[in-house]
Structure 1
Amino acid sequence: MAETRRPARQTRPPARPGGSPAAAGTPGTTGTVLTTLACLAAACAALLLALSTGGGLTPSVLGDPGALVRYGLPLARTVHDLSASLAVGGFTVAALVLPHPSAAWSRVVRAAGVGAGAWTVSALAVLVLTAMDVIGAAPGAAGFGAQFAQFAQEIDLGRALLVTTVLAAVVATVGAAATRPAGSAWGAVLSVVALVPLSLSGHASGSASHQTAVSSLGLHLVGVTAWVGGLAALLIALPLTGRRAEAGERAVDLPAVAARYSALALWCFAGVALSGVVNAAVRLGGWSGLATAYGALVVAKTAALVLLGALGAWHRRRTLPLLATSPRAFWRVAAGELVLMAAATGLGVALSRTPTPVPEDVPGADPVSDLLGETAPPPLTAARWFTQTSPDLLWLLIGAGLLVGYLLGVRALHRRGDRWPAGRTAWWVLGCLALLFVTSGGPAAYGRLSFSAHMLQHMLLTMAVPPLLVLGAPVTLAMRVLPARRDGSRGAREWLMEVVHSRYLALVGHPLVAAALFAGSLIVFYYSPLFELALRTHVGHELMMVHFLGTGYLFSSVLIGVDPGPHRPAHPLRLILLLATMGFHAFFGVALMQGTQLLAADWFSQVAPGADLLADQQRGGDIAWGIGEVPTLVLVLGVAVAWSRSDTRENRRRDRAAERDGGRELAQYNAMLARLADHDHDHDRAPEQPREG
């Protein structure tokens, strides 16, 4: 009897926990754990070395809370920053880099959720340890509970840490529930929002160049967390890339994913470098500051940044082209880069615990400058309105980015042989320049010093800038320039389309809702504590700018927009809506002119002592009533021109249709009129029926 042999048993790649096999040539769970431990060790070593050098571990003479706070607070802050980076970077990579659905996307989102959970726990630890540091007592001391409650509710630093803890918990909840790209996008947005309170604490909370320090620190935090956490997320997803996709999943192309992250990392590096230079210039106070302990740490962190930039450039040239054949080489370089990033994070924590050469609060300084957070400008004149500056780093970057990005898009169209109207480009350039002037020129310098100057800034921001930007048709240009992705991931084009066609934009972009937001927010803002909050706080001021620019853009888009978007009413209804809204706007101005109740009286009495505040507020009413006439006339002309062009296009369409079908539509219309005429004629000739009885 012949011997029967069983077919050779096929072997499969080792399975990762959860059932999906690891890609060939990439480390598995062991490599991830070792890299995590190496990052923690590098961060802690750099932190302790920097603190020892800068004197951060020396016991305080007065109110020393003990070794637990001296060592525990910096260590907790390091874990806090690393876990925040994993949350921000993980959700960002899932939203912008990885395809969905895929095992790599799911693993990265779960890791980002775990990072947000660790962020919540460490943020709570930082809150408690910081309270112990400020109070100078341990939790078991008498009265510590009441003092802790006061610290968390009434002190700016305590409130910022408490808000961060709550927001981190919200991010962790979103991460646990995220199953679609929208969930990862919300996780990224909320995690970035959770970073905002951190930019308001620490060295940035001082009075010297407060706005610049806060904006630069916020930009620095976002860039660092997206950069570090994004690389960690890429390494977490690496074992699941380059393999055959299972049923219902999409394949993950490692070279494409790495190239997308590389572009993201380049932008993060630029933002970190720019914000780091600005913040160091504010805090060092000159080259002499480099000779201090704070300056030494700045030099060390700068060296780490330069080294990371060099590694990134070498990474793009050498290892990215080898990803398809040698992913392990990419792993080794990326893991080493991540360890260096962790060490730089430890240096950053030590930097925040080291006194700056420039005092954060200068005793006896100008009280108006203390309130403004920057040097008060000279008295307002007509010339200074156009020559005085108050640079806002955030809006400088936004305005410059919008201008440069638009011009690059126009150049890309021309290079491929497509045309773009020169008029739209001119409108957009004027809008961006006007935005930069309003947010960083004379209106920004004097907008917080008097009500009339603030109202002029407001009117320019909400009624002059938006129509210029709307006429530039930026969404249409972006749709023609941005490339579409085919692998299930979402880039700038896909997210832009998601926003344009979202239910939220359909709601707020409805003509009646847009008009209500545009006009009604005036009453809500100025006759509530929001107005003074926007004057006193940097975040409130920036949110005010975003809101009024956004509502102005929505309203202008409803009236004269050409971009795809929500439903737009017929042109006669647009004119009616415009006139009704502007009538309400004029009523607001008249109410200010005739009103006797001072708005934000506490603020203006401090920044403008001795001034006639009521007369200045009434001048603001004059501005609100008078300056609204010119934009209204421009918008009326815009609607009229759009109406005329719409009729012209409709007539041309009908003419072309008549040429194609030989005037069939016109013939049918004439035949209908003839039938109606015959019917009326027959009715007139019918004999009158005799009446009964």
Structure 2
Amino acid sequence: MSDPARMLRVAGLLALGPAVTMALLAVTGVFEPQQVPGLPDPGSLTRYGLPLTQVIRDISAGITLGALVTAAVCLPAAGDRSGRVSPAQRSLLDVVVVSASTWTWTCLVLVGLTQSDALGTPVSSPGFLQQAVFFAQNFDLGRYLTVSAGLAAVLAACALGVRTATGVGLLVVVALSAMWPLALTGHAAGSLDHDNTVNLQAMHIIGTAVWAGGLVALVVVRRQLDRPALVAVTRRFSTLAGCCLVLVAVSGVLGALLRLPSLESLRSPYGAVLAVKVGALLALGALGWWQRRVGIARLEDSQTSAFARVVTTELVVLASAAGAGVALSRTAPPTLPGAEVPLTPARAQLGHDLPPPLGATEWFTQWRPDSLWLPVAIALVLVYVVAVRKLSARGDGWPAGRTVAWIFGWVLFVWATSGAPGAYGRVLFSMHMVQHMTIALAVPTFLVLGAPVTLALRALRRRDDGSMGPREWLLRVVHSGPARLAGSPIVAAALVVVSLVVFYYSSLFELSLRTHTMHLLMTAHFTITGYLFANCLVGIDPGPRRPPYPLRVLLILVTFGLHALFSVSLMASDQVLARSWFEPLGRTWGRSLADDQYLGASLGWALGDYPLAILAAALVASWVHADRRERRRLDRRADRDGDRDRTDYNDYLARLSRSALGSPRSADGAPAEDSERS
């Protein structure tokens, strides 16, 4: 089959997504004009065009991300060791240009259609374009769609000029960033428990996008690869698709549980559309198992027809699932009669009621699981333990203390984000400061002591076909210029101190309380900067060159001294930070805002002591270990050369002694030994 014919076939398969969307919405009655008092009907163009444009946007975004991920981690680069993209990777970049451009324009169209749907304004009404521009600039939904369109346009433009594997990796990061606004505008955006549902929605769409887009990528490049290369690429993608299956299944089930009030709700139209998605997921799991167990073996035996049939079937099911997902976003979830709760100011701001008054027991009993950081922590602990077991299975040892440090660091992180600091961090400034100090100083120290990069480099398999696997990408990141700069001692210490001052004495602090995106960025930023600072002091992983130990001690003292100075200045301040956020919550228990801020600043000062003690103890232990290692090295060299350094030094001292006492001279005034030599 020729390339144009194959591309038309793929396009026909992807057209199933819009077809399924329109069919499901027609069955559930969503296309019927909604008679809402006071809100006019936006018109047929909006009712039909909005879901159709949305499913095209989702499919194009999935192809973009999946093709980039496949090119970055599955396909080999050019065989000349230059790091330039191979012809197969170039083909996927050409696909990205088309899909990202489609993503851009559909997002821009969705700005107008979403504004029309939200306000009940027909697209043909006078001044509609000006209203759409105003909507894009001043409303969250409009801004999210505009940001996604802008990032997609960057992807399309950069894909034209990318020539190296590193450039493809950077495009993957941009594509992942562009997927986040899709989660903010999906059917999770309207949920009361906004933060958790958006997290789950993001994981769901990213897993689906990498899976579906990767399948399209396999169809595009399979004619450009010889059979051994195609088998290797298919094996890698099969592993990647298995991870995506777990991610999609877990996030989908948890997201459904958050939105369905009871099992009886499954009988509603929303439950019917959800059943279609569940059936598609089960079918995909079965197809993936067959492909892993049977399909790849047949592909090795040159039986490509079975492989093509399974890939085609998976594309059909995934396109149908994408259509069902869009239909689900346009279908209102069911509600139980009498289950409505009044929308209090606290519930409107937090998404839930205020926690109970903070007492001694609440420090251990109050939990609000974070649907993003909790799975991340669990996954990283499991991956670490699996890597340690892999080393043990082949006879290599790994210090138990490092494993304990890694696990304890993530346990502490989970408590800070899902325990009492997470439950009270947006209600009390003092608990926010406890959370901040824990994730910025305490947690990174334990993570650094776990030496995760060293473990990964020892456990991960090296690839020899020119492709970039996890090990290769890890080395590329660790030794990159930005990583070396950010991890250098002076820069890392400056990031810890400067970002602290900028964050709290600007609008960023209140923005992190109001918006979920900024809250996640805050957590990630302070964890990473704390990790870079601890790594340059007590880390053993590859990275920037670490300073001598006396300078490390000085760096700790200066950094923590400036940290304490910030806390003292905050204690002396009479300005309440984020007052416009804390006051409307209506908290009737605990300290006043000013007193609670003073307590938080005091805790920030006091809680800086135990990370300092941990760093100091680790630094002393590392210093002693380095001295012992250097002494053993010198002893080994002395055994090899007969202690030549000590003998030379003693001879040098003897010569100095003779020079100080004076040596006998000859008759002409020259030293006797010189006279004898002459």
The answer to whether 1:539 aligns with 2:517 is: yes
| Aligned pairs (5 A) from 1:74-93 | 74-93=51-70
Give the Cα–Cα distance (whole angstroms) in 2 for the partners of residues 364 and 267 of structure 1: 40
2:21 aligned with 1:40, yes or no?
no
Query: Separation in 2 of the partners of 1:83 and 1:498?
Result: 29
CA change 1:336–1:686 in 2 (3 A) is: farther
The equivalent of 2:314 in structure 1 is 337
Of all paired residues, the percent bearing the same amino acid is: 44
**Displacement of 1:684:** 12
Residue number among 116, 122, 128 corresponding to 2:106 in the alignment: 122
Q: Residues of 1 paired with 2:437 and 2:335: CA distance? A: 37
Residue 417 of structure 2 is aligned to residue 443 of structure 1: no
Q: What residue number does 2:323 align with?
A: 346
Matches within 5 A, 1:402-421: 402-421=380-399
- The equivalent residue for 1:365 is 343
1:4-23, CA deviations, whole angstroms, 9 ceiling, x for partnerless residues?
A: xxxxxxxxxxxxxxxxxxxx
Shift of 1:329: 2.1
Q: Give 1:578's aligned residue.
A: 556
The one-letter amino acid paired with 1:673 is L
Residue 675 of structure 1: CA displacement?
3.2
Describe how 1:404-553 pairs up with structure 2 within 5 A.
404-553=382-531
**Greater alpha carbon shift after TM alignment, 657-666 vs 147-156:** 147-156
CA contact (8 A) 1:450 1:608 kept: no
Q: Quote how far apart the aligned CAs of 1:358 are.
A: 4.1
Residue pair 1:592, 1:620 contacting (<8 A) in 2 also? no
The separation in 2 between residues aligned to 1:683 and 1:642, in whole angstroms, is 49
1:622 paired residue among 598, 602, 619: 602
Q: Which residue of 1 aligns with 2:75?
A: 98
1:286 corresponds to: 262
For the residues of structure 2 that align with 1:288 and 1:338, how far apart are their CA atoms?
32
Q: Is contact 1:283-1:358 (8 Å) kept?
A: no
Deviation at 1:350, TM superposition (A): 0.9
How much has 1:679 moved relative to structure 2? 3.9
CA distance in 2, matches of 1:31, 1:94: 23
Label 1:28 to 1:264 Cα distance change in 2 as closer, same or farther (>3 A).
farther
Q: Name the aligned partner's letter for residue 610 of structure 2.
A: V
Corresponding residue for residue 643 of structure 1:
623
CA distance in 2, matches of 1:409, 1:684: 72
Aligned residue for 2:211? 227
| Residue 671 of structure 1, aligned match among 617, 634, 651 | 651
Please point out which of 266, 270, 288 is paired with 2:246.
Answer: 270
Whole-angstrom distance in 1 between the partners of 2:666 and 2:18: 105
Give the 3 Å change call, closer, same or farther, for CA 147–686 of structure 1 in structure 2: farther
Distance 1:191 1:684, change over 3 A: farther
TM-superposed deviation, 1:36: 2.0
Moved more, 368-377 or 512-521: 368-377
**Aligned partners of 2:586, 2:169: CA distance in 1, in Å?**
44
**Does the 8 Å CA contact 2:560/2:608 hold for their aligned counterparts?**
yes
Equivalent residues of 1:177, 1:183 under 8 A apart: no
Equivalent of residue 191 in structure 1, options 157, 172, 175: 175
2:229 alignment counterpart: 253
For 2:4 and 2:136, the matched residues in 1 are separated by: 41
Cα separation, partners in 2 of 1:645 and 1:134, compared to 1, 3 Å: same
Per-residue CA deviation, residues 239-289 of structure 1 (Å, 9 max, x unaligned), is: 10117xxxxxxxx71111000000000000111111111111111111121
- 1:544 Cα deviation (Å)? 0.7
Secondary structure of the 1:420 match is coil
2: CA distance between counterparts of 1:110 and 1:33?
Answer: 13
Q: What residue is the counterpart of 2:673 in the other structure?
A: none
Residue pair 2:564, 2:608 contacting (<8 A) in 1 also:
yes
- TM-score normalised over the length of structure 2: 0.93
Deviates more, 1:373-382 or 1:222-231: 373-382
What is the CA–CA distance in structure 1 between the aligned matches of 2:34 and 2:660, rounded to whole Å? 104
Q: Which 10-residue stretch deviates more, 569-578 or 68-77?
A: 68-77
Deviation at 1:304, TM superposition (A): 0.9
SS for the counterpart of 1:141 is coil
The CA deviation at 1:103 is: 1.8
TM-superposed CA distance for 1:120, in Å, is 0.9
Please report the RMSD computed on the Cα atoms of aligned residues, expressed in angstroms: 2.0
Q: Deviations over 1:577-599 (max 9, x none)?
A: 10000100110111111110111
Distance in 2 (alpha carbons) for counterparts of 1:594 and 1:267: 51
Q: What per-residue deviation string (whole Å, max 9, x for no partner) do you get for residues 112-143 of structure 1?
A: 22211111122112222222222333444233
Task: Indicate if the aligned counterparts of 1:535 and 1:541 stay in contact, CA closer than 8 A.
Answer: yes
CA distance in 2, matches of 1:628, 1:330: 58
Report the more deviating stretch, 169-178 or 671-680: 671-680
**Residue pair 1:39, 1:343 contacting (<8 A) in 2 also:** no
Q: Note closer, same or farther for the CA distance 1:667–1:163 as it changes in structure 2 (3 Å cut).
A: same
Q: Which runs of 5+ in 2 are unaligned?
A: 79-85, 670-678
